[in-house]
Chain A
Amino acid sequence: MNPDDLSERADAERGRTGKFQERLHVCTAASCQAIGSDGLKAGMVARAKGARSAVEVVGTGCMGLCSKGPLVRRESDGALFLEVTGDDAPALIDGTSSPTLEGRRVSVDTHPFFAGQLRIVLENAGRVDPERIDSYIAAGGYGALAKALTQMSPAEVVAEVTTAGLRGRGGAGYPTGVKWQLVGKQQSDTKYVVCNADEGDPGAFMDRSVLEGDPHRVLEGMAIAAYAVGATLGYIYVRGEYGLAITRLQAAIKQAEKEGLLGTRVLDTSFHFSVQIRIGAGAFVCGEETALIASIEGKRGEPRPRPPYPPEKGLWGKPTLINNVETFANVAPIVTRGGAWFAGIGTEKSKGTKVFAVAGKTALTGLIEVPMGTPVRRIVEMAGGVAGGGKVKAIQTGGPSGGCVPERLLDVPVDYESLVAVGSMMGSGGMIVMDEATSMVDVARYFMEFCRDESCGKCVPCRAGTVQMHLLLEKFCAGEATEADLALLRSLADLLRNTSLCGLGQSAPNPVMTALRYFPHEFAARMKKEPS
């Protein structure tokens, strides 16, 4: 396929879909699938065959409002139907009125959950069929790759990403353009591009949704990156828990190879790039880049000291570019619309948008993509606040590496620096909302238990420190902790932060320390009562 064929294919697909009078998108992401969207879709497809008007039923990726699934979106008027069952199929297909269905209809244009969103990463989610490459191509897919390969030099692609001000969406926020430049300037016969899809933070499911709903977007981003840095082989390291994402990715890679969009002579140019999937085996530490590299090499996922950083010595000692799923998903729009466009969104230091997986005690659970700089409070409001009208106590971002933000600081804007300033971090995008009934001591213990279990055991501060900190937190939970325990907890936190080998141990004390900083009275209340 060459760039001209690409636009022909897009026209053909648009011509095909144009023949239908109506299109119904059924969410087939893991969450909706778990509650019956596959059966629903099959029923709708069967019904559509006998329908009088031409209705197309399309399975798509995550539409975002996961707690109200299965979801169906009607294309003509943007109506979104919640909690759809097989009984609703006739009314949906025939367009007949059904009072029960009407009661579950919202508009994606005006509903508060969607109205404040700005979708770049998720722009195709709920719109394209992740299992058909033509659907992606009709939405402009692989156009950015064609543009990069035929109209831009690798250096120009890197410059565009640098202009955009894109920063790593995995959590640390390293400037993506700088990283690409570092890998690009290495002299080596072999370089690799790795996509970190080991979304390990509990409560985070943005990357899963992107992989399931728009796998070609990630592949296109990786291919553009490979062209920019001079790599020919890529790996996607996916969590083993994400079965559907793996299946969709495998299918997408096969389709792209067949169409000449991956493999040798991509789009009839001299550029070669192939992608392999590596399936994780359940180790949180593998989200750390050097541990991830070890795991791809078939070893225990243990991190190693940096430097050298992966751009110099990565996979099999070769220069390696590692970016997260969401980072790669931002690449195609940047190349298509230009870095300056992207840099116009967000704040001075944090550009573009961020996808958050909002869960916990909120009325609604799902994915919310907002411009950087949006106050956290606004995101919580979009998710309908606390279910049942309760009060927010705190939110937690960054998972086991992040921290909590108390209600009084909820006006903090979401950008890398502001969240760090209040003791939390951007993280990969998990945002757990906790209400007044949630004990912060319990949550602190929960995250420490997580880090204790997931510590790889290579360095002593993390291996032994997380065990000791967890034991101390157990004492708090049992009401047996003393002042000396509190002092020990603080000093251990300091030790872990400063002496652990990798990010897991260095950041493990964060949830405890922010809980202590903002909710000291909860810890005091759980301490041993001195005999009076």
Chain B
Amino acid sequence: MATTAPAVPDVKDNRAKLFERAMSRHGYAADALIEVLHTAQELFGFLSMERLREVARKLKLPPSRVLGVATFYNFFSLRPKAEHTALVCTGTACYVAGSRGLLDAAQHRCQQAIARGQPEKLGVQQARCIGSCGLAPVVVLDGRILPKVSVGALEQTLDEVGA
């Protein structure tokens, strides 16, 4: 990555404007890097290499530093999101309540989708603990919490949303 990379030519896109405004609100300060990456991911769904280069240029940071931060934190994704995302909580309470089985089931389905040639169908992620231990085990499907979920119930819900 070179700091002289050309500007990302998506100025007509409204999101780009919003993104610019977010950076400007932080005064293009280097210490706002994580906040800026949060905003970028929120707006664009993931952090593309072009986006990271843009951030590096605007915040006057070495691209290595931006990539280093983006890859350090679990929250940031450098790949586009799948159509559906199943976030399996693997915190201790969920673990003792059987989250491993849920994770296996979700990953199995993900593999099946890949085998069918639809790798963009379902993304499976793990959460370290979403703090809803009273509802363990928990899966968050597309932002919706499935409380006290069994493997069967998870399979059924995945069927329902077509994942």
Chain A positions near chain B (C-beta within 8 angstroms): 30-31, 34-35, 65-69, 199-205, 208, 240-242, 278-284, 295-301, 357, 359-361, 365-366, 396, 399, 430, 432, 434, 438, 443, 446, 450, 454, 456
CB < 8 Å neighbour of A359 from B29, B72, B134: B134
Q: Which residues of B contact A361 (CB under 8 A)?
A: 96
The verdict on B76 contacting chain A, using a C-beta distance below 8 Å, is yes
**7 pairs of A and B residues whose beta carbons are closest in the complex:** A66-B134, A282-B74, A202-B91, A281-B73, A202-B129, A205-B131, A359-B133
Chain B positions near chain A (C-beta within 8 angstroms): 29-35, 37-38, 65, 68-69, 72-76, 90-93, 95-97, 127-136, 138, 145, 147
Bound CA–CA A31/B49 (angstroms): 37
Q: Is the CB of B38 within 8 A of A279?
A: yes
CB < 8 Å neighbour of A66 from B68, B76, B97, B132: B132
Tell me the smallest distance from the CB of A91 to a CB of chain B, in Å: 24
Closest to A450 in B: B128
Q: A202-B90, A203-B129, A241-B131 are in contact. Are A282 and B75 (CB under 8 A)?
A: yes
A-B contact pairs, 24 of them (CB 8 A): A65-B134, A66-B132, A67-B134, A202-B90, A203-B133, A205-B133, A240-B38, A241-B130, A241-B131, A281-B75, A282-B73, A298-B29, A298-B31, A299-B69, A300-B68, A301-B72, A357-B133, A359-B93, A361-B96, A399-B92, A432-B96, A438-B96, A446-B95, A456-B72
Q: Is the CB of B130 within 8 A of A360?
A: no
Closest to A68 in B: B134
Q: Which residues of A contact B93 (CB under 8 A)?
A: 202-203, 359-360, 365, 432
Q: Is the CB of A298 within 8 A of B133?
A: no
Tell me the smallest distance from the CB of B46 to a CB of chain A, in Å: 14
Q: Is the CB of A35 within 8 A of B135?
A: yes
Bound CA–CA A456/B74 (angstroms): 11
Q: Which residues of B contact A205 (CB under 8 A)?
A: 129, 131-133
Closest to A239 in B: B131
Bound CA–CA A32/B122 (angstroms): 27
Contacts A202-B91, A359-B136 known; 5 new A-B pairs at CB < 8 A:
A31-B134, A65-B134, A278-B35, A281-B74, A365-B133
CB < 8 Å neighbour of B132 from A34, A298, A446: A34
Q: Which residues of A contact B35 (CB under 8 A)?
A: 278-279, 298
Closest to B61 in A: A298
Q: Is the CB of A283 within 8 A of B72?
A: yes
> Which of A30, A199, A361 has the most chain B CB within a 10 Å cutoff?
A30
Bound CA–CA A360/B91 (angstroms): 10
Q: Which residues of A contact B138 (CB under 8 A)?
A: 34
CB < 8 Å neighbour of B92 from A202, A241, A280: A202
Tell me the smallest distance from the CB of A429 to a CB of chain B, in Å: 12
Q: Is the CB of A295 within 8 A of B34?
A: yes
CB < 8 Å neighbour of B147 from A34, A65, A443: A34
Bound CA–CA A66/B8 (angstroms): 47
Q: Which residues of A contact B128 (CB under 8 A)?
A: 200, 202, 241, 282, 284, 450, 454
Q: Which residues of A contact B38 (CB under 8 A)?
A: 240, 279, 281
Q: Is the CB of B72 within 8 A of A242?
A: no
Q: Is the CB of A283 within 8 A of B74?
A: yes
Bound CA–CA A409/B78 (angstroms): 48
Q: A365-B136, A399-B92, A446-B92 are in contact. Are A301 and B131 (CB under 8 A)?
A: no
Q: Which residues of B contact A360 (CB under 8 A)?
A: 92-93, 96-97
Q: Which residues of B contact A280 (CB under 8 A)?
A: 73, 75
Closest to B94 in A: A202
> Which of A202, A204, A399 has the most chain B CB within a 10 Å cutoff?
A202
Q: Is the CB of B136 within 8 A of A296?
A: no
Q: Which residues of A contact B95 (CB under 8 A)?
A: 202, 446
Q: Which residues of A contact B131 (CB under 8 A)?
A: 30-31, 199, 204-205, 208, 241-242
Bound CA–CA A358/B133 (angstroms): 8
Closest to A276 in B: B35
> Which of B95, B127, B128, B131 has the most chain A CB within a 10 Å cutoff?
B131
Tell me the smallest distance from the CB of A298 to a CB of chain B, in Å: 4
CB < 8 Å neighbour of B91 from A34, A66, A203: A203
CB < 8 Å neighbour of B69 from A30, A65, A300, A365: A300
Tell me the smallest distance from the CB of B88 to a CB of chain A, in Å: 13
Q: Which residues of B contact A454 (CB under 8 A)?
A: 128
Q: Is the CB of B135 within 8 A of A34?
A: yes
Tell me the smallest distance from the CB of A72 to a CB of chain B, in Å: 16
Bound CA–CA A284/B91 (angstroms): 12
Bound CA–CA A476/B68 (angstroms): 35
Tell me the smallest distance from the CB of B127 to a CB of chain A, in Å: 7
Bound CA–CA A47/B61 (angstroms): 56
Bound CA–CA A22/B74 (angstroms): 46
Closest to B128 in A: A202
Bound CA–CA A299/B145 (angstroms): 31
Tell me the smallest distance from the CB of B128 to a CB of chain A, in Å: 6
Tell me the smallest distance from the CB of A444 to a CB of chain B, in Å: 12
Closest to A285 in B: B72
Q: A31-B132, A282-B74 are in contact. Are A296 and B37 (CB under 8 A)?
A: no
Closest to A201 in B: B129
Closest to B145 in A: A34
Bound CA–CA A69/B135 (angstroms): 9
Q: Is the CB of A283 within 8 A of B73?
A: yes
Q: A204-B131, A283-B72, A298-B69 are in contact. Are A434 and B96 (CB under 8 A)?
A: yes
Bound CA–CA A279/B127 (angstroms): 16
Bound CA–CA A242/B130 (angstroms): 7
Q: Which residues of B contact A240 (CB under 8 A)?
A: 38, 75
Q: A282-B128, A298-B32, A298-B34 are in contact. Are A203 and B92 (CB under 8 A)?
A: yes
Bound CA–CA A34/B131 (angstroms): 12
Closest to B130 in A: A241
Tell me the smallest distance from the CB of A111 to a CB of chain B, in Å: 16
Tell me the smallest distance from the CB of B141 to a CB of chain A, in Å: 12
Q: Is the CB of A281 within 8 A of B96?
A: no
Q: Which residues of B contact A295 (CB under 8 A)?
A: 34
Tell me the smallest distance from the CB of A82 to a CB of chain B, in Å: 12
Tell me the smallest distance from the CB of B140 to a CB of chain A, in Å: 9
CB < 8 Å neighbour of A301 from B32, B33, B73, B129: B73
Bound CA–CA A360/B95 (angstroms): 9
Bound CA–CA A31/B37 (angstroms): 28
Q: Is the CB of A241 within 8 A of B127?
A: yes
